Structure 1
Amino acid sequence: MSSGQGGHRLSSTFQWSLTDGGDPAELVAEFLSSAGLRVRNLGRTATQVHPTGDGTPCGAALYVSAAAGSVMAGGAVGPPTPSPALPDVYAVVLAHGSSGPEPAGASASALRPGATPSPAALSSRPFSLEPWADSWTADDHARAVALAREAIARGDIYQVNVVGHASAAYTGDPIPALSRLARLAGARYGGVLAGDGWAIGCASPETLVEVRDGRVITRPIKGTRPATPAGRHELLTSAKERAEHIMIVDLERNDLSRLPGAGPVRVDQLFAVREWSGLWQAESVVSAPLDGDVDLASLLRAVCPGGSVTGAPKLAALDEIARLEPVGRGASMGALGWIGHDHLDLGLTIRTAAADGDHLHVWAGGGITWDSDPAAEVAEAAAKAGPLRAALSSSAVTAG
């Protein structure tokens, strides 16, 4: 995922929050279209010409929260976010030209527009992070897993993703700490996006949706083990993990099949094992040709929120998530990436942290099926959050 090359400047921004009302998918699509990006027919990206004149758009960074994704899907939004300073949809258009604020790079590894201040207003004090405080205890998390299994036993859902949250107070500038996340192994969508009083740092390995060369692609990840030889064997031979994974692949196939303008959906790769920062994870590739007009708003409604972080059926899973989780998902489990003239590439914001004016926030969880063991699920969430907490710690930033 990358933007155009050469000199760029911030051109315009769009911001939407739950309290604003309206259809966020249509509103952001209209904004980007009015800014000169051809988001009303994404299937033509392979043949589009890149405008390069001064002031013409080279692309846009786009962020969508999990709550906004639920609105787009017509599902339950869930409890309030623990980081209300963050918008629920944010887009920033970059234009060709050297005048105006210069972005700190324009690629998957540097999404932050240069004109946006950090939440701490670039404090001169050294960065320092207080101890993490979880929004629920390990027992609370295990109890939520047990309740999810009861919902599965009743037939309300087949699978649901349960996510926990933790926060830590900080002083100083959090941007260097958030930027450090991009260095984590397997961070396909590593970078920082910042606005007025907030910032998001991402180390996600998962593709929510990509449009390139006339195809729409999603790469769901489901199934986790420690990145050891024994862990790889366990993941490959686990009937529970494979069944959970295939269920989400079927959900993603259904999501793409409902997309207007998409052709026959196929599974290009099934249950391939990848590594992310000390963990093995199973990934599949699902794609379809774009044979007709495909609008960005329709695409966002079809894929948001991502099936691997909701469950199946998606709307019923969103109801369970709203019932089980104590706080909102904030910047996590949403979308973050780049829209250019010849491609779109949005990562799913797992392995993601956010900063508001005085706290850093992280989220982690996992998919729950009937075979899930509550204690194992709690341990898996801790294993996913561990590399994020370590990278964000003040000692890690000082060492870097």
Structure 2
Amino acid sequence: MQPQLTALSYRPDAVLDYFTPLAGQPWAMLLHSGNSSHPDSRYDIMVAAPAVTLVTRDGVTEICRGDDREYRHDDPFALVQQALAAASMTDLPNASLPFLGGALGYFGYDLARGIETLPALAQQDVPLPEMAVGIYRWAVIADHHRHTVTLVSYDDPAPLLSRLTAVPPPTSAPFHLLGPWRANMSRAEYGEKFRQVQQHLLAGDCYQVCLAQRFSAPCDGDEWPAFRHLLAHNRAPFSAFIRLGDQAVMSLSPERFLRLRTGEIQTRPIKGTLPRLADADADRQQATRLAASAKDQAENLMIVDLLRNDIGRVAQPGSVRVPSLFAIETFTAVHHMVSTITATLAADRTPCDLLRACFPGGSITGAPKVRAMEIIERLEPQRRSAWCGSIGYVSCGGTMDTNIAIRTLLVADQHIHCPVGGGLIADSDEEAEYQETLAKAASLLPLLEQLHA
């Protein structure tokens, strides 16, 4: 079955406005391009009311189709691909839209425990599932390059249009913090963990480890207006809002993980960060300083090599390329060093094969990946949950785009969590690395402190 396409009037915030009446519904999800000048800031995609949901906890995936439920111990990535194939949705030839119905949701960092053998040491204190993916038969998509908004639907679009133009329900209590942010480690504890990483590096166990700390605060109120507030100030091209009952994931990610389009793969790892400066000349010098940093180039190149290897598992032999190394991209709060790797997916491989082969993204683990994840498990007090996993879509026609879920806040049990980290290598400076984590948090935490009941 092919979808119906219904043109809606374009305005830059159209998808945000259409999403607002649905934002409180479980399984309402939004992928947002940040309304920025970044070259990847093109599409906004919103969905709700999935036909099928797949939720993985402790290695068991619950698949719901209406009132029918089944529980599977199979690989979650394969189950998503199977559910997509069973949905009987057909791509439109020559369609310019990236998503024509299909799978959309998040793949949490802890899905890695089903891919690699890792110790189970960190506390599991955030009750979000390891994976939450819906199979959606409709979507609203804004294309900010063509200035179009399109409703994609496999069913009668009239009821959907009524829902999208409904008066938003009365807003619940505004989002607000109920107490101060608290880190899950002191400055001294961070230093001790930094030195343990250095011992591993000097011993040759690995050559990069991404170490994170986490800030948490009690909270209450509706997360959706809070997300819009964060989005307006961060303008990140791979942003996302995911509603799961009384839980939410709010991502302001600047980083693409994997894009697949007509069989062509692209990944754009970020490694290397310096904060923006208020003075324009000093800020330009800061970007130049990052571009010339041998330490950041080395850190970036390690992850480029790791991703080349990961992608090579499922790519056509000889197709992996690195068209761009060490480019500097400037965002609202920070400058980042970004590289680009491309390849062609092998004909016998699926989008979810690609996602699994590269999961989790090397830019948030370190290298070699498995050893780095073992060290992370021993040093970080709590599991990462959805943070540092991946949020995105796999369209019915095989197109895929996903982020690395950094700058991502997790809300559950009336607490909000904001992990931040960075890659450590042998010549990393402890204080500089600690300050880098604070610079990343500074783009999010103070903004939420501004919100009041």
TM interval, short-chain normalised: 0.7 to 0.9
Superposition deviation, residue 103 in structure 1: 12
Correspondence for 2:414: 358
Correspondence for 1:343: 399
Question: Does the CA contact (< 8 Å) of 1:260 and 1:293 recur in 2?
Answer: no
- 1-side partners of 2:162 and 2:388: how far apart? 25
Structure 2: runs of 5 or more not aligned: 1-41, 61-72, 138-152, 277-282
- 1-side partners of 2:404 and 2:374: how far apart? 20
Question: Which sits farther off after the overlay, 343-352 or 287-296?
Answer: 287-296
Correspondence for 2:231: 182
Correspondence for 2:145: none
Correspondence for 1:88: 130
1:204 aligns with 2:253: yes
- 1-side partners of 2:267 and 2:354: how far apart? 12
Superposition deviation, residue 122 in structure 1: 8.9
Correspondence for 1:42: none
Superposition deviation, residue 240 in structure 1: 0.8
- 2-side partners of 1:93 and 1:104: how far apart? 19
Correspondence for 2:290: 235
2:275 corresponds to which of 209, 226, 232: 226
Superposition deviation, residue 337 in structure 1: 1.0
**One-letter code aligned to 2:433:** E
Question: Does the CA contact (< 8 Å) of 1:66 and 1:332 recur in 2?
Answer: yes
1:322 corresponds to which of 373, 377, 380: 377
Superposition deviation, residue 68 in structure 1: 0.8
2:108 corresponds to which of 65, 83, 99: 65
Deviation readout 1:164-193 (Å, 9 max, x if unpaired): 111111122122213433334451111201
Correspondence for 1:152: 201
Equivalenced residue count is 370
Question: Does the CA contact (< 8 Å) of 2:260 and 2:351 recur in 1?
Answer: no
1:12 corresponds to which of 49, 52, 63: 52
Superposition deviation, residue 126 in structure 1: 3.4
The alignment partner of 1:333 has SS state of: coil
1:253 aligns with 2:335: no
- 1-side partners of 2:57 and 2:286: how far apart? 41
Superposition deviation, residue 81 in structure 1: 3.2
- 2-side partners of 1:280 and 1:182: how far apart? 18
Pair member with larger Rg? 2
Superposition deviation, residue 57 in structure 1: 6.6
Among the aligned pairs, what percent are the same residue?
31
What pairs up with 1:379-398 in 2 under 5 angstroms?
379-393=435-449, 395-396=450-451
Correspondence for 1:124: 172
User: Under a length normalisation based on structure 1, what TM-score does the superposition of the two structures give?
Assistant: 0.84
Correspondence for 1:171: 220
Shift in alpha-carbon separation, 1:59–1:100, aligned structure 2, 3 A: farther
**One-letter code aligned to 1:65:** G
Superposition deviation, residue 286 in structure 1: 0.1
1:142 aligns with 2:191: yes
Question: Does the CA contact (< 8 Å) of 2:362 and 2:369 recur in 1?
Answer: yes
Superposition deviation, residue 290 in structure 1: 2.2
Deviation readout 1:305-360 (Å, 9 max, x if unpaired): 10000011001111111111111112210000122235200000011001113011
**One-letter code aligned to 2:106:** Y
Shift in alpha-carbon separation, 1:315–1:290, aligned structure 2, 3 A: same
Superposition deviation, residue 128 in structure 1: 1.8
- Specify which structure has the bigger relative contact order, considering alpha-carbon pairs within 8 angstroms and separated by 6 or more residues: 1
What pairs up with 1:297-336 in 2 under 5 angstroms?
297-336=352-391
Correspondence for 1:377: 433
**One-letter code aligned to 2:407:** R
- 2-side partners of 1:139 and 1:8: how far apart? 45
- Over the residues paired in the alignment, what is the CA RMSD in angstroms? 3.0
1:292 corresponds to which of 347, 357, 362: 347
- 2-side partners of 1:318 and 1:368: how far apart? 13
Deviation readout 1:272-320 (Å, 9 max, x if unpaired): 0011222110001101012412223321221111000001100111111
Superposition deviation, residue 220 in structure 1: 0.3
The alignment partner of 1:181 has SS state of: helix
Correspondence for 1:267: 322
